[in-house]
Amino acid sequence: MSECYSNCSKEGSCKSRARRTKPKMGKTRFFNKPARRERSVPTQCVPALAPSTPAQRESFTPYITREEAIEGVMSGKYVRGTVAINKKYSSAICFVRNAKQWNDVDILIEGKTDRNRAFNGDVVIVEIKPEEEWKSKDKEKPTNHDAAAVTSVHIRSREEDMKLPKDQRSKLPDNRPVCRALAVLQSRNKQAEEDPLADAPKPNLSKDMLITGRIVHIWKQDHQTKHVARALGPAERKTWIRFASYDDKYPHIEVHRNDLKEFQPLLENTEGFLVYLELMREWGDKRFFPQARILKLLGAADQVEVESRAILVQNGTDYTDEFDEECMKVIPDKVPIPSEAELLKEGRRDMRLGAKHERFVCTIDPATARDLDDALSCHDLGGGHYRVSVHIADVCTFVPFGSALDQEALKRATSVYLVQKVIPMLPRKLCEEHCSLNTLGDKLAFTVEWVMDAKGNITSEWMGQTVIRNQCKLAYENAQSIIDGNFDPNSIDLAHISPSRRAWTVERIKESVKGLWKIAEHIRAARHARGALSLNQAKMYFDFEDYNSNMAPKGWHMHETAEANWLVEEFMVLANARVTEKCIEYCPEVSLARYHSPPDASRFESLIKALGEQGLKLNVGSGKALSTSLDNISKHPQIEAIRALTIRCMMLAKYCCTSESADHSLSHFALNLPLYTHFTSPIRRYADLVVHRVLKVALEIEALVKRKLREGVAEEDIVVTPDDVPSGYLLLPEADVTEIALRCNTRKEEARKASDQSIVLYYCLYLQSLYKRWEADGRTEYKERHKATLTKVQEKSFNIFVESLGLDRELFHDNGHKDQRWLGTNKKNAKQGSMCIQWEEGLFEEASVLHRWDVLVWYKKESKNLDFVCQICPPDRSELVGEVGADLA
C-alpha cells in the first residue's frame, strides 16, 4: 500500500496523490481575476509528516484561531502587519510593518521560533512582548534642511479644505489653488470594506525603542508560493529531500521522495538540475522546514535559459512574454486613427505634418530599443522663444479599464529587462507596434507642450491627446553627434522619407536636437543649482556576435550616460512634474505620486568618517549640500564606489496615493521637486498608465469647471462627480490607488534586482567562455584584475564594490569556501564599518569603508551553478600590523 496522508479522512484507502488532484481556481488580489494554477493541493490531503527529532517536534507554537486574532486586535492585545525579511531567511531577525497605521514603526521579530513559520510578505497577527524585552536603538540623526531644501506640499482632504478661508486652502508649488470641485469617491475596494479589523484601534507604538514581538497567527498568506530551487544533496536513501530556493528570503524546503518519481533525471542527479516547485499551503508546527511539491524540471543548472528563469521567478516574475487569448482579444488589428470629425469630438489634436497643429517629431532612444514610448519636438518661434512638446504613447486608449489585459498589466506592473530579453508588461503587439512611436505610421499620443524661452522658463502650457507621426528614430549616439557637430546623415534610417524631402528632414532633425539641447542645458543647470542630485552610475553592457542567440558574450564595456541622455531626461522630468501638478490640481486626493524621502543622516556615518580621514568633507544636510559635496570630489579615484555608497544610504523612492500627504511629504529629495510622478513610460510601467487615466479625467474636470465659471456658477457651488465627465469611470478611490502603489513599489524593486542579477549571470558566462578557450589552448587559468572598494562590514560578511565592473560582491569572514587567501576568521566592528584581515599568523591588515584592494576575478569551475570568484590580493607584507585596535580585539 502506498504511503498514506495523515490528515486525509480516507486514511490508507486514499488513492489520490497531491500532484494528481484537479486544479482549483483561486483569485488574485487585484480585480478578483481568476488565476490559472497548474496544480493544487487539497487542504485535507498532505503527506504524512513524521518529525525526525524531538527538537523539530517542538519547534513552533500552534497558531491562535482567527476568532481569537480578531478579538485580540480589536481589544489592543495584538496588532496586524506585514512580514519583511530584508536579507536572508537564515538571518536571526525580521520585521513586521504597517506603515499606514504605525507611523513607520517596525516590530522586531527575533529568531525563527518567534517568526513562527511566517514568510516574507505574509500578513500576520503579532503579540507585542513586555516592554522590558524591547531593545534600545541608536537615535536617528535627522537631516537638517538648509534654505535650498525642496518645498513640501501638503494636500488636505476636501472636507478640511472647505472649512478654511479660500486663501488658506491647499495650493500647488506655484501658489495655484487646488480645485475642490471633485466629490469624494466611494471605495470600490470590497476587500477593505469586508475587513473585520478595519476599525481596529491604532496602537501607540514607541519610536524610541525597538519593539519586539512574536507572531501568533497568519492572517493572510501573501508570500511567493512558486520557487526555483536546487537540491542540497543526493536523494539516495532519503524520505525527504531538502531543496534551497533561489530566493534567499525563504527557508530550505523539503520534498517527499515519492514526488521525484515523475522526474527520473532528478533521481539520478538530484543536485545537477533546477526544479520549479510549489509550497504547500500548510506548514505544520511539528516540522522544521516547509514542504513543497515539484511542478516541473527546468533543466541543468548551468544553462543560461534555466538560470534566467530562476532569476525571474525568484524576483516575482513568474510569467513569460506570452499573453492569453482573453488579454489579446481587446487589441485591435491596426491603430484606430480617428477621422477629422472624431478628432474634433474627442478634443484630440492632429499634430501630423500638414495639419493645423503640425509638429516635427523625433524619438531619441538606445539603438536597440523597440518600445519607443516617448518622442520630442522643438520649433524656434523667434524672439528667443521655443515651442517644445513631449509626446508619450497613448497606452490607456489600448488597455480598457478593468479588462483582462488591464488586470494582467497590473499583475506584472512593470517590464523586466534582462541582458538577453525583455519580459514585457504589455503584449508585444502593443509594446512594439501599436503604441511604439516608430516611424511606420500614425500614432496616438498624450502630449505635454510648452512655449518657453531658451532658459526653460515656461510662458504657456497645454496638455491633451494627439495624433502624431515620428519623422526619425535617432539613437543616443546620433543625437550626441549632432550636439558635438560631427553628425553623419547616413548614420540614420530615412527610408520612409521620400528622396526629395530627405535633405529638408535632416536639417529639421539637426535644428530640433540643437534647440532641445540648448534649453535642456539651462534646465539641468538650474535644477542642480536648486539641489538636485545626479547619481547615475556606469552600467555593464555586453558585446555579442549575435544578440539574439544564447551564446556567451564576446566582451563587455561600461556605458556612461552622455549629454544626449540628459537632453531626453530633462524634458521627461519636466513633463512628469507638470503632469503631477495638473492631476493634483483637479483630482487632489486620488492621484498617484512618486515621493523620495530625505535620508537618515546616520546612514552616512561610516562614509563621512572614511572621507574625513582623507581630508574630504561630505555634507548631507540637504540635497544641495550633498550634490555640492559630490561635485567637489568628482575626480576622486573611487568616485564610482562613493556614488554606490551614497545610493545605498538613500531611501527608496516610492509610489503613493496623494491623499497620503498627511502622513509624509510628497516631495522628491533626489530631484529636488515638491511634486513628482511617472507619466512618460506607460508601455513599461503600470504606474504611468494610472497617471494617464487620472490626467485624462483631470483635463475633463478642468474644462467642465471653467465652463461653469464662465456660465456664472460660483466656484463654491461647483461639485463634480465621476459621472459628470466622459472618462470619470477611470478614477479610483484612495484605497484602490494605495493598493496599486504598493504593488508597483514591490514589482519595481523586484524588476531592478532581476536586471542586476542577469548582468552578473552574463558576466559569469563571459568568464566561463574565456576559461574554456584558454583551457582548450593549454594556457593557465584566465583571471581579470580589478580595483575593489570596501563598502560595508557586517557580522558574518563584508561587501566590496568592484569599480571597473560596477558590481557589488559579498565575501564571508570565515572563508569557508577557501576562495580567499586570508586565515581563519577576520576581526570586525560592523557598527563602525571596520575590520582586520589576518593574512599570516599574527599579522593583520586594517581596513575600513573605502579601503581599496586589487582583486582577481575568474570563473569558478567547481561551482554547481554559474558563479565567479572575486579574490582579494594580499597587500605588501610591510603594510601588515602585529596588533589590532582595541575596538577590534
Query: 336 — phi, psi (to 5°)?
Result: -80, 90
Rg of the chain over CA atoms, in angstroms? 29
Report the alpha-carbon distance of residue 227 to residue 381 in Å, rounded: 58
Query: 83 — phi, psi (to 5°)?
Result: -75, 135
Among 225, 300, 227, smallest CA distance to 266 is for 300
In this prediction, residue 887 carries a pLDDT of: 52
Q: What is the pTM of this model?
A: 0.88
| 566-579 tens-digit pLDDT | 999 999 999 999 99
Report the alpha-carbon distance of residue 732 to residue 721 in Å, rounded: 12
In this prediction, residue 663 carries a pLDDT of: 77
Residue 498 CA: distances (Å) to CA of 38, 438, 471, 494: 53, 17, 11, 8
- Non-local (6+) Cβ contacts of 740 within 8 A are 30, 410, 592, 655, 686, 687, 690, 732
Burial class, 446, CB count within 10 angstroms (exposed 0-12 / middle 13-18 / buried 19+): buried
Please give the sequence-ordered ranges of beta strands (E in DSSP) within 3-151, or none if there are none. 26-27, 34-35, 78-84, 93-97, 107-110, 123-128, 135-136
Report the alpha-carbon distance of residue 748 to residue 685 in Å, rounded: 9
Q: CB of 260 within 8 A of CB of 273?
A: no
DSSP, res 433:
I
Q: Is the dihedral of CA 121, 122, 123, 129 positive or negative?
A: negative
Report the alpha-carbon distance of residue 822 to residue 260 in Å, rounded: 41
Strand partners, 812: 797
**Weakly modelled stretches of the chain, pLDDT under 50:** 1-58, 142-148, 886, 889
Copy the grid coordinates of residue 787: 580595483
Report the alpha-carbon distance of residue 511 to residue 483 in Å, rounded: 10
Strand partners, 139: none
Give the HSE-up count for residue 171: Cα atoms under 13 Å, Cβ half-sphere: 11
In this prediction, residue 188 carries a pLDDT of: 60
Q: Which helix (H) or strand (E) holds 361?
A: strand 361-365
Report the alpha-carbon distance of residue 533 to residue 522 in Å, rounded: 16
Q: CB of 588 within 8 A of CB of 182?
A: yes
Burial class, 749, CB count within 10 angstroms (exposed 0-12 / middle 13-18 / buried 19+): middle
Copy the grid coordinates of residue 275: 526544479
β-strands 253-256, 240-245: how paired? antiparallel
β-strands 209-220, 123-128: how paired? antiparallel
Residue 833 Rama label (left phi>0; alpha psi -120 to 50; beta): left
Copy the grid coordinates of residue 242: 531538502
Among 578, 527, 593, smallest CA distance to 389 is for 578
Neighbours of 214 (CB within 10 A): 19
Burial class, 114, CB count within 10 angstroms (exposed 0-12 / middle 13-18 / buried 19+): buried
Q: Which helix (H) or strand (E) holds 520?
A: helix 502-529
Among 880, 873, 878, 879, smallest CA distance to 788 is for 873
Q: CB of 498 within 8 A of CB of 601?
A: no
SS3 802: strand
Residue 78 CA: distances (Å) to CA of 29, 73, 201, 274, 594: 25, 5, 10, 41, 32
- Non-local (6+) Cβ contacts of 465 within 8 A are 346, 347, 348, 349, 394, 397, 444, 445, 446, 447, 696
β-strands 349-350, 34-35: how paired? unpaired
Report the alpha-carbon distance of residue 312 to residue 317 in Å, rounded: 5
- Provide the residue type at 275 as one letter: V
Burial readout 625-661 (b: 16 or more C-beta within 10 A, e: otherwise): bbbbbbeeeeebebebbbbbbbeebbeebbbbbbbbb
